[in-house]
Structure formats: C-alpha cells, structure tokens
Amino acid sequence: MESAKEKAIKIIRSYDGPKIRIMEVCGTHTHEIFRQGIRKLLPENVELISGPGCPVCVTPVGYIDEAVYLAEEKGVTITTFGDLVRVPGSRSSLADVRSRGSKVKIVYTPLDAVTYAKNHPEEEVVFLSVGFETTTPSACLAVEQAAAEGLKNFSILTANKTMPSAYRMLKDSVDVYFYPGHVTAVTGTGLVKSLVDEGISGVCGGFTASELVTAIAVAIKKFQEGKPFFVNCYPRVVTEEGAPEAMALVDKMMEPCDTEWRGLGMIPQSGMKLREEYAAYDARKHFNMPLIEGKPNRACRCGEVLQGICRPVDCPCFGKACIPEHPVGACMVSNEGACSAYYTYGDI
Amino acid sequence: MKTVTLAHGAGGKQTSELIDRVFKAHFANPDLTADDAAVLTPPAGRMAMSTDGFIVSPAFFPGGNIGKLSICGTVNDLACMGARPLYLSCAFVIEEGFPMDKLEEIAAAMEKTAKEAGIKVVSGDTKVAGKGQVDGVFITTTGVGEIMEGVSTSGDFAKPGDVIIVTGDVGRHGCTILLEREDFGIEADVTSDCAPLWGAVEAVLNEVKDVHVIRDATRGGVGTVLYEITGQSGVGIDLYADRIPVADEVRGVCGMLGLEPLYLACEGRLVIMAPEEHAEKILAALKTTPYAKEAAVIGKVTAEHPGRVVMTTEVGTQTILAQPGGELLPRIC
C-alpha cells in the first residue's frame, strides 16, 4: 500500500496548477526542509519562501548595540543563547565584546541566567530575551523566579515577538503559510483559524520528512480549491487550545508593544515587554538606557530574504563577505537562518 | 563517607592502602607487579598501540561510567587496526574529596570490561589533585595489541565500490550524556552504547581479511568519521537516510534539539568499509556478537564527488550531509 509520505510526494511532484508561494515561517522547518532534500521535489510552480521565524534572524542591529552598551558602558554580565553571540551589531558583535574583556555567558535556558545571578551577587546580570511564543514563557518564568528569590541584580533585555502581526504584514508575498509547529502548539489553532476570515491561508505541520511533505501536499491541494483555509497537519502536537498556562503566565507579566524586526522594520504591537509591576526586571528601565538605534550594513539583504523578496544567493554578500564563519547578516549566523541553510546545502 | 584525600596521592601509607584496596583488588594479574615497569614478552607479529584520555562529565551515566569508557575507548582503537588487545596501562588523576566507593565502582567496571575484552592491566599510576583542580576523576589509558596476520586497515584504504557498514544504532552515547546534563529539561530513556568491540572485529576478520577501513565513531559521531575517510582516501560517500539505524528515543531528542544523530558520539559502534562482495559475510559475522546485532549497510564509497558525503533522503532526493561547525558537546568522553 502506498504510504502517506509517498502519496504526498506524488501530489507535490505532479502539481501543474497556477504558481503557489508557500512560506515556511519557522527556522527549524527551513533547516529540516533543506536537510531532508524536500526543495528538490518541488516543481517550478511551487515556491518555498523561508520566512521570519528564526528569532536570531529577526533581531535588529540596534538590539545587539543595546547589549553591547550594557556590557561595555554599564559593565554588566550578559547571559544569552549561544546563537546571538556572533550576530553583528552596528560596530561590534557580542563575540567582539567578549574578546575585549566583557563577560558574555552562554546559557541554555533563562533559568540558568537566574542561577548565575544568584551565585554572583556582585555582578549585574542581564539575560537577552529574544524569541517567539515558544520561548517567551520561559523568560517570564525566569523573572518570576528572580522575584521570588528577591534578586536585585537580574534583569532581561526584551526583544520578544509574536507572530500574528508578521503573518498579516507579509500576506501579500505569500499564498499559503506553513505555520511554525511549536509556536502554534503554544498559541493553539484559534488564532490561525481566525486569520482565514482575513483571507490568510495556512497549514500547520511537523518536522519529519513525512510530516513536512504531507503539510506541503495539503497546502497544494487546498490552494487549488480557491478558498482561504487552515488545516492542522500536526494534530499529535498542535491542539485547539494550545498551552493556556504558558499564555496566562506571559499575559500576567508582559504586554504588547511596538517592536522592530530586522528587515521588516517596525511592526506595531508585535513585541512583548514586561508590565510596569515588573519594571525592576526590565533592563532598559533598570539601567535607564538611552534610545539606541542600529545602523545595518547596507550591502546585506537579510531583510529582503526574510520577506521572500530575494533569495540568499541574490545577495551580493552571500558566500563572499558573508559566510557562517564571518557572518554579515543574521540569517547566516543561526543554523536555522535561510542564508546559512542555502550556504550549507545549496551547492549540490 | 570515605573520600580520597591528598594523603592518598602522597606516596606513603595511604597511597599503598588506596592501591591495595581499589586497584590491586580489581586489576590483579601476574603481569601487574609492584615494580616500576611491567616486564612483557612482545607478540610475534606487528603491534598496535594507542592512548586516550577520558574526562567525561558526568562520570557516571546510564549504560556505563568513566572506567568502562576508558577501557572501551582504547580497546576499540586497537580493534580498529585489527589488533587483539593485550596489555593496558592506566593513569588516574583524582580530585581530593572524590568518594572512595565511587572510585571502587569505576575500578570494578574497568575490571569487568577488561576481562571481557581480553586485555590485562599491567601498569598504573595514581595522582590526587587539590579540590577544583580536576573535576572528579580523569583517566588516561594506553593499550597495545597484536595485529591479526593478513589484516591491514586504515582510513587511507577506502576504495570506490566499498560498502559502508555501521555496527548498530548511532548517536546513543552523545545523546545519553546530553540528557544527563539536564540542561534541556528533556527526559527520555536512552542508555550509552559504550562497549568493547574486539569480539565484533575478531568475528569479522576470522571470516574476511580483506577489510579496508575500520573506525570507531566516537567524538563527532559517524558523520565525522565519514568525512575524515573522504579526505584520507580521496573518495566520495553516498549514504541512504532510511538505512541508518537510529533509536526512536535518540531520533526524538535530536528532533527537539535540532541535532543530527550522525554527529552524536558513539562509544560502541564501528564504521567498516570493505568490498561489496564481502558485505553479507561481514554482516552475518557481526550479528553473532553481542554489540552488533543491528549492523547494517548504510552506504557506499564512490569515485564521484570526492570529499563529500551525499545523502539520499527519505523523500528520495539527494542532499549533502552538512558538516557541523563549532563545539557540539564538550566533555563527552
């Protein structure tokens, strides 16, 4: 009997309808699609666009500059996920700052940063809080933990983002969204279902070869019906209600704010910041930081890559000035970035 | 609780006690004497010799401990050259305050593993370092073995047309250590594959002498070994994703963390390359031994695309096996 995977591959390979643009939003999807060689299945009229779902890639230059300021001007110890260390700021990356003698510590979870702060009361410790709906709850947990322990030397520099505004902003470059599996697992399907009323179509899928091709095949099939749709192709993980406890925690501690996305610019109400009650844990307030605006490298086209306007290979820096060892743009830093994936897998 | 103190490393009475109670008790054999060096008769044929330091953290993990690992690592390195393990020396650096019963547990694991592998501990050294100067216990082992007649293996010898065999599911040791560190808050039932593999190699070489490459896939995993061989032998490699054995738990953890099982360390898995006509015999021989029941052909050596490992994916397309950069996992062995 033909397996679901084989059936899906057949649907994808034989598609000869109008051109369809599918945007995989999540960086892990981008990476897995390359790793599993799925792009090579696609006929010419199916385009996969790598969207803005890698938290490192959408972190703006100015945010790195803020972290650099904290490390070098305020002497704080920066705690961060490893990926962020090599992202270029206007002048320096955190790796540069570390080589000049500032303390930059890599942690696996925000709670590790709290533990570090507790064990080093003589240091001011700031956690770089980037990420989407999946990681924001753990940043809130860290603040809650720091508050419970009465720590005065721990704060977070927020650049947390939420996906819905980005879906709306990019809807004209996309026919069908391949929604991120983990984000949708947290938020539940209610939100993406409601986008159908705004004419925005999408599918939600998992990360194995079979799950990936199934979601793409369903997107193609439903697209041909001509009506906006949402199909959950990842029901073993993604549910209607999502993770209400996580969302309640975020809602208790954080509120929406305007925020800048690298390449996409300011998107109103697409960010999350700590509520006033937790101001003591907000690094911008704790250190009374000035407004810092970044100056992106003009040759880098990460922004257009993130919007699907150009492919990584169309950027003049790609593979020349910009390689994983010396990234110019954020999309080359993270192994979930579109440029990094093209660079690693693109030449065969 | 009795612990190791600096006095145990000072060379006096306590040192003798430690050696008698822990090391002599577990390693005793006629070639291990109280003299300054072991006196041995060399084997008739060619010899192989290998040394390896072990600093794994944590020192105890599901499926083994640093003691077992320190024997397997050196025995397996010898086995890869077609060498029957004969003699082993071991040097311990122990942190002051290390629990004595844990040290005994490590020595007991070494005794058991050495016995299984047929290697004799003939020389040893013990140093105790101050608190914080080492983390728990570090062990260095050096082994010598006798290369089986008519056998000649090297990473330089892979030839187009060779089949690539892996002796079991990949990535288990690396995955086990990763989970033990608890940095990720993931729980899964994974045990290290740590095992001595001379038995498996001997079974193969008794059937087939014409084996080109044997490598144990430790740090860097099977993927790193394959890339090393492409460089050493100037060949390309084709892999088949759907034939690579990976335990469900390992696959699950890798999925969550975005890791490639082929790059996670193994401590009981060999990569074997040999002419295709011997494939069935080699697989059959491996499957008679305890640690290679799941041996499988996962790819072949090719003259095409030298220096590259190309994977035929689960959806039937071809993609390059990406090489990881930077530090994947510190202190796994």
CA distance B96 to chain A (A): 23
Burial track B286-305 (b if 16+ CB lie within 10 A, e otherwise): beebebbeebbbbbbbbeeb
Q: Rounded mean pLDDT of B14-42? A: 90
Q: Do B319 and A336 touch (CB under 8 A)?
A: no
Identify which of A213, A344, A348 has the shortest CB distance to residue B310. A348
Q: Is the pLDDT of residue B302 over 90?
A: yes
Give pLDDT, residue B10: 85
Q: Is the pLDDT of residue B43 over 80?
A: yes
A341 within domain boundaries: no
- pLDDT interval class at B253 (50, 70, 90): confident
Cβ-based contacts of B259 with chain A (< 8 Å):
none
Q: Rounded mean pLDDT of A93-104? A: 94
Question: Domain B6-147, CATH 3.30.1330.10 — does that match?
Answer: yes
Residue of A nearest to B182 (CA): A108
Using CB atoms and an 8 Å cut-off, which of residues 247-266 of chain B contact chain A? Answer: 255, 258, 260
**B319 Cβ under 8 Å from any chain A Cβ:** yes
Homologous superfamily (CATH) for B162-320:
PurM-like C-terminal domain (3.90.650.10)
Count of the separate structural domains present in chain A: 1
pLDDT tens for residues A124-166? 999 999 999 989 999 999 999 999 999 999 999 999 999 888 8
Residue of B nearest to A342 (CA): B322
Q: Do B317 and A38 touch (CB under 8 A)?
A: yes
Residues B95, B55: contact at Cβ < 8 Å?
A: no
Residue of B nearest to A325 (CA): B325
Q: Do B318 and A347 touch (CB under 8 A)?
A: no
CA distance B256 to chain A (A): 9
Give pLDDT, residue A342: 85
CA distance B317 to chain A (A): 6
A236 within domain boundaries: no
A112 within domain boundaries: yes
A234 within domain boundaries: no
Identify which of B305, B314, B319 has the shortest CB distance to residue A34. B319
Q: Rounded mean pLDDT of A264-293? A: 94
* Region(s) of chain B under CATH 3.30.1330.10: 6-147
pLDDT tens for residues A187-200? 999 989 999 999 99
Q: What is the dihedral of CA B66, B71, B77, B83, to 10 degrees?
A: -170
A262 within domain boundaries: yes
Percentage of residues in chain B having pLDDT higher than 70: 96
CA distance A176 to chain B (A): 22
Structural domain of residue A86, as residue ranges? 61-163+243-286
A295 within domain boundaries: no
Residues B218, B73: contact at Cβ < 8 Å?
A: yes
Distance CA A276, CA A288 (A): 14
**What are the Cα distances from residue A327, in Å, to A100, A299, A300, A319?**
19, 12, 10, 9
Q: Count residue pairs from A and B with Cβ separation < 8 A.
A: 61
Q: Rounded mean pLDDT of A106-113? A: 88
Give pLDDT, residue B100: 94
**B180 Cβ under 8 Å from any chain A Cβ:** no
- Both tokens of B140, joined, read 């260095």
Q: Do A36 and B313 touch (CB under 8 A)?
A: yes
Q: Do B320 and A345 touch (CB under 8 A)?
A: yes
A307 within domain boundaries: no
Give pLDDT, residue A348: 46
pLDDT tens for residues B111-139? 999 999 999 999 999 999 999 899 999 99
A180 within domain boundaries: no
Cβ-based contacts of A53 with chain B (< 8 Å):
none
pLDDT tens for residues B69-83? 999 999 999 999 999
What CATH number did the domain enclosing A132 receive?
Answer: 3.40.50.11740
Q: Which residues of A touch B (CB under 8 A)?
A: 5, 9, 28, 31, 34-38, 40-41, 108-109, 112, 207-210, 213, 324-325, 335-336, 344-345, 347-348
Q: Do B319 and A345 touch (CB under 8 A)?
A: yes
Cβ-based contacts of A6 with chain B (< 8 Å):
none
pLDDT tens for residues B84-110? 999 999 999 999 999 999 999 999 999
Percentage of residues in chain A having pLDDT higher than 70: 99
Distance CA B267, CA B172 (A): 8
Question: Which one is predicted more confidently, A278 or A342?
Answer: A278
Distance CA A96, CA A103 (A): 11
* Region(s) of chain B under CATH 3.90.650.10: 162-320
Q: Do A35 and B260 touch (CB under 8 A)?
A: yes
ipTM: 0.72
User: For residue A312, which of A334, A341, A335, A348 has the smallest C-alpha distance?
Assistant: A341
Q: Do B319 and A347 touch (CB under 8 A)?
A: no
Q: Which of A68-82, A98-112, A217-231, A299-313 has the lowest mean pLDDT?
A: A299-313
Residue of A nearest to B257 (CA): A28
Residue of A nearest to B312 (CA): A37
Using CB atoms and an 8 Å cut-off, which of residues 117-146 of chain B contact chain A? Answer: none
Q: Rounded mean pLDDT of A62-86? A: 93
Give pLDDT, residue A335: 72
Give pLDDT, residue A80: 93
pLDDT tens for residues B201-228? 999 999 999 999 999 999 899 999 999 9
Q: Is the pLDDT of residue B326 over 60?
A: no
Pairing of strands B309-312, B236-240: parallel
